[in-house]
Structure 1
Amino acid sequence: MITIPPCWYHTYIWFFLVQPPFIGGNRDKIQQKVVKDKIKLPAFLSSEAHSLLKGLLQKEASKRLGSGPAGIDEIKRHKWFKPINWKKLEAREIQPSFRPEVEGVHCIANFEKRWTDMPLSESPASSPKTITNPFTNFTYIRPAASFLQKSSPLV
Structure 2
Amino acid sequence: MINNVVLVGRMTRDAELRYTPSNQAVATFTLAVNRNFKNQNGERDADFINVVIWRQQAENLANWAKKGTLLGVTGRIQTRNYENQQGQRVYVTEVVADNFQILESRATREGASTGGYNPSPANPQPTSQAQTPNFARDDNPFGNANPIEISDDDLPF
Q: TM-score range by the shorter chain?
A: under 0.3
Q: Which has the higher relative contact order, 1 or 2, with Cα contacts under 8 A spaced 6 or more apart?
A: 2
* TM-score normalised by length of structure 1: 0.24
Where is the strand percentage greater, Structure 1 or Structure 2?
2
* TM-score normalised by length of structure 2: 0.23
